Amino acid sequence: MKHILVTGANGQLGRELQAIAQATDGFRWIFAGRERLDLEVPGAIQAFFGQHQVEVCINCAAYTGVDRAESEPGRAERINHHAVAELAEACARKGAALIHFSSDYVYHNSLNRPLREDDPTLPRGVYARTKLAGDLAALQINPLTLILRTSWVYSAFGHNFVKTMLRLGRERGAVRVVSDQIGSPTYARDLALVAHFVALGLPAGGFPQGIFHYSNEGVCSWFDFARAVFDLSGLPCTVVPISSAEFPTPASRPYFSVLDKSKFKEVFALPIPYWRDSLRDCLQLLL
């Protein structure tokens, strides 16, 4: 029986994996939230791996407060970089594989075309820098590492853009949303299904190592995304397009972060849903 550890089990991806794993027989799942494995505590990871058998670790834990990270750089560095390195080291000692999630923010290179895995990285801000540092550390420490770089993640669980728009749509007649940042939304359930597929050992040719991009198909702005939330939910809320300059934030956002998924499609025999279709599926759970 394969033992699969999921860290950050109470976040968006972790909760989605918990739901998916309920229908999976023949595997031993270990779901560890912060109360069971606090990645900020020195030595906690080493001790946890010493007490449990682990053959695959899916790291769903991350410091995702992009703006808050600017005032909490130490916490972001600990969770997004040092804890990832320690997880990779613990996995390497056991010969275990590591599946880790990263971000489109690591690029920020203004190429204005779909971004490939081998494109130069130019992280801006604490969040982006710590995510890239964690990626590089994991790849260097444990060869059996798969990094799924993704964008604009939302879910029926946790805090995210879709749930914020639903709340504001019920409270207000109009919302202002930036229209000059372009990317691709990603339903956490779809992303979790990819990690689940890999963890169960289903990809042909063995464990896929290295960096892969994954998001839902299609391209939109945050303005388009918000419009779709209201259109599909039936909320009578007007979306007013604004520029990023009209909505300043502590951390810089990439203006164009569409991910090229050609490499993923070559390796994985998995369909990638269109973003509006996945959004509709998520909204059915929220409405």
127 belongs to the catalytic site: yes
Task: Report residue 183: phi and psi, to 5°.
Answer: -165, -155
Active-site residue, selected from the candidate residues 127, 154, 187, 214: 127
Residue 56, class by beta-carbon neighbours within 10 Å (0-12 exposed, 13-18 middle, 19+ buried)? buried
Nearest residue to 17 via CA among 61, 75, 51: 61
Kind plus residue range of the DSSP H or E element containing 174? strand 174-178
The answer to whether the Cα torsion of 17, 211, 197, 163 is positive or negative is positive
Q: Are the C-beta atoms of 275 and 184 separated by less than 8 Å? A: yes
CB atoms within 10 A of CB 172: 12
Q: Are the C-beta atoms of 98 and 142 separated by less than 8 Å? A: yes
Could you tell me where the DSSP H helices lie in 53-141? 73-77, 83-94, 126-141
Q: What positions carry a catalytic annotation?
A: 127
